[in-house]
Amino acid sequence: MKTKELASSLRTVISILHKSLRKQMYSVNSLSLTEMETIGHLIRNTTLLPSELANLTRVKTQSMSQIIKKLEELEIITRTPSTKDGRKVYISLTEYGKQAVEKTRFDRDEWLTEAIEQTLTLEEIELLEKAIPVLNKIVPIN
């Protein structure tokens, strides 16, 4: 298989897997991809300014304001004023938001575990294990 065909096949299967995993996210099913990406950045960074979140998710600050408003209404995030600069507000996950993320991760892991165990042979599982480090090489982690 040529590299371009490999890339296309890989993109297709990853896209389908991503959609299948997304269907397992019962607790946050009404969230957009950008909203979920915003939550992901807060998991990795604990607290961020709205401008930092906008930059990381590649959206305008006005759009990020709407995302923050929705996530705050859902009690997933909270705003905390800066003690050093009253104009700045830090965004972080609430305890409920952290629990929702953990529940979602658990649900997706359970679904994927079952899918692997029911559809793959032991040899295929071993091959998949060997593929993970290779895939990690081509994926930039933010």
The model's pLDDT over 105-133, given as tens digits with 9 standing for 90+, comes to 888 899 999 999 999 999 999 999 999 99
**Token couple for 96:** 């409920």
Look up residue 80 and give its DSSP letter.
E
The model's pLDDT over 6-57, given as tens digits with 9 standing for 90+, comes to 999 999 999 999 888 877 765 555 788 889 889 999 999 989 999 999 999 9
Closest CA to 26 of 96, 79, 98, 101: 101
Q: Which domain holds residue 34?
A: 25-138
pLDDT at 105: 85
Q: Is residue 20 part of a domain?
A: no
Q: Is residue 113 part of a domain?
A: yes
Report the number of distinct structural domains present in the chain. Answer: 1
Q: Is residue 100 part of a domain?
A: yes
Closest CA to 22 of 6, 33, 10: 33
The model's pLDDT over 58-100, given as tens digits with 9 standing for 90+, comes to 999 999 999 999 999 999 999 999 888 888 999 999 999 998 8
Contact between residue 42 and residue 64 where contact means Cβ atoms under 8 Å apart: no
| Mean of pLDDT over the chain | 90
Q: Is residue 18 part of a domain?
A: no
- In Å, how far are 5, 6, 8, 127 from 1, measured between CA atoms? 6, 6, 11, 18
Q: Is residue 109 part of a domain?
A: yes
CATH code of the domain in which 102 resides: 1.10.10.10
Q: Is residue 50 part of a domain?
A: yes
Q: Is residue 59 part of a domain?
A: yes
Threshold 0.85, pTM exceeds: no
DSSP reduced 3-state for 48:
strand
Q: Is residue 2 part of a domain?
A: no
